[in-house]
Chains A and B, each alone.
Chain A
């Protein structure tokens, strides 16, 4: 079985400040990890993914995440928040054993203050 926990359902940051969204996963086999962003009334858009290889992955819009196996974490960061980063962010996990089924965390809604 696999699961994802996102710490904090809401995060408020000031424009220009660091964005840090936490994601911890549980998987009995090597995981594939994803971060998706959802803007209001839209579907999910992939920010970045980790499958194999380099544990620090860079995505779109200046986001990056680091896979830490020892901590079972895949936290998402962005050095400087922009107003356009206001959205909901979802961490997800799958694996070869899970087929292609994504298991999502509960989501973190980001508010950016001017």
Chain B
């Protein structure tokens, strides 16, 4: 079956613009995660969804970052007023519920803020 998909694969934007990143999880996976991968900070957790609710938002770096999930499926990560330090690869993953369950990762969205 289809894996986790993310769009766009690449996004170049100007400082101060807003961007939206999309994640389509594996069908039937109720858990969805966003991570950020950058040269300076490595792989960092951003937010976790269980269904449409987000019990853990502890990794969002500032209030410019927000995410939502609708219908227990697609999720959108929004970054407002982008800054150069937001440049990174944003990875989405999905899994069945349970800490010991494998998280399946999408290919990521590479965000470049000029």
Interface residue tally for chain A (C-beta within 8 Å)? 27
Question: Would A98 and B99 count as touching, CB distance under 8 A?
Answer: yes
Residues on the A chain within 8 Å of B25, using CB: none
Of the candidate stretches A12-20, A42-50, A69-77, A78-86, the one touching chain B is: A42-50
Q: Does B31 contact A (CB under 8 A)?
A: yes
Question: Cα distance A102–B94 when bound, in Å?
Answer: 12
Interface flags, B93-114, vs A, CB<8A=1, else 0: 1010111111111111000000
Question: Cα distance A90–B45 when bound, in Å?
Answer: 14
Residues on the B chain within 8 Å of A46, using CB: 102-104
Question: Cα distance A90–B43 when bound, in Å?
Answer: 9
* B interface, size bucket: 20 to 34
Question: Would A103 and B99 count as touching, CB distance under 8 A?
Answer: no
**Complex: chain B residue closest to A106, CB-CB:** B42
**Complex partner residue of A44 from B55, B58, B91, B99, CB under 8 angstroms:** B91
Question: Cα distance A38–B44 when bound, in Å?
Answer: 15
Question: Cα distance A81–B63 when bound, in Å?
Answer: 45
Question: Would B99 and A99 count as touching, CB distance under 8 A?
Answer: yes
Q: Does A113 contact B (CB under 8 A)?
A: no
Query: Beyond A41-B107, A43-B106, A99-B55, is A104–B99 a contact (Cβ under 8 Å)?
Result: no
Question: Would A100 and B95 count as touching, CB distance under 8 A?
Answer: yes
**Complex partner residue of A96 from B31, B33, B99, B106, CB under 8 angstroms:** B99
Question: Would A100 and B107 count as touching, CB distance under 8 A?
Answer: no
Question: Would B100 and A101 count as touching, CB distance under 8 A?
Answer: no
Question: Cα distance A105–B42 when bound, in Å?
Answer: 8
Q: Does B56 contact A (CB under 8 A)?
A: yes
